[in-house]
Amino acid sequence: MGTNRLEGEMIDQENKMMAKFKKEREEKIGNITFTMIKPEAVVANNIGGILKMIEEGGFRIVAMKKVHLSKERASEFYAVHSERPFYGELVDYMCESPIIAAILEKDNAVLDFRTLIGATNPADAAEGTIRAEFAESLAKNAVHGSDSDENANIEADFHFSAEERF
């Protein structure tokens, strides 16, 4: 009995510490979006070129890693698109080779990043945008960008722990 109560208290303590840590992180780090540099852009050695545009666009890199998604992880990440006809193609493509995952910070991060990357189809992407510069096609469009603050946080949490953000 005594041991169980002690364990319970330790878990409470740990939960409180995690909540405090998360709050401090949210106060220290402002508005975020989540991005991936997609497989074909990584294979084409465009990581540096894309990161240069991201940093010159005023975004600060909060967290970043190179990761090879499994089919399960890619399916989970894109579960919101599971009813769309291109879902299978999208999942296969995203785990073809490694990607770069990153959390980016800037005021108005989500919308400003969507502006910087340009339209989903590179044929419609404005000049000077990342997709106009680096995307190959509608399916292989170089980068991902979150579409809302809520999804930015879900996607960031999918790839990064609190301890990996600075």
DSSP three-state, residue 74: helix
* Cα Rg of the chain, angstroms: 18
Helices (H), the chain: 2-28, 39-43, 47-56, 71-77, 87-94, 109-117, 130-134, 149-159
* By CB under 6 A, residue 158 contacts ligand ATP: no
* By CB under 6 A, residue 145 contacts ligand ATP: yes
Of 41-100, binders to Mg ion (CB under 5 A) are none
Which positions ≥6 away from 53 have C-beta within 8 Å?
Answer: 116, 130, 133
Q: How far is the CB of 128 from Mg ion (least distance, A)?
A: 21
**Distance, CA of 38 to CA of 46 (rounded, Å):** 10
Our answer to whether residue 68 is catalytic in this structure is no
Of 6-35, binders to ligand ATP (CB under 6 A) are none
Angle ∠(50,56,62) on CA atoms, nearest 5: 75
Size of the site for Mg ion (CB under 5 A): 1
Of 117-156, binders to Mg ion (CB under 5 A) are 147
Q: Which does 86 bind (CB under 5 to 8 A by kind): ligand ATP, Mg ion, none?
A: ligand ATP
Q: Which does 141 bind (CB under 5 to 8 A by kind): Mg ion, ligand ATP, none?
A: ligand ATP
Beta carbons of 58 and 102 less than 8 angstroms apart: no
Of 103-142, binders to ligand ATP (CB under 6 A) are 120, 138-139, 141
**Binding region for ligand ATP (CB under 6 A):** 81, 86, 89-90, 120, 138-139, 141, 144-145, 147
**Binding region for Mg ion (CB under 5 A):** 147
Residues designated as active site:
144
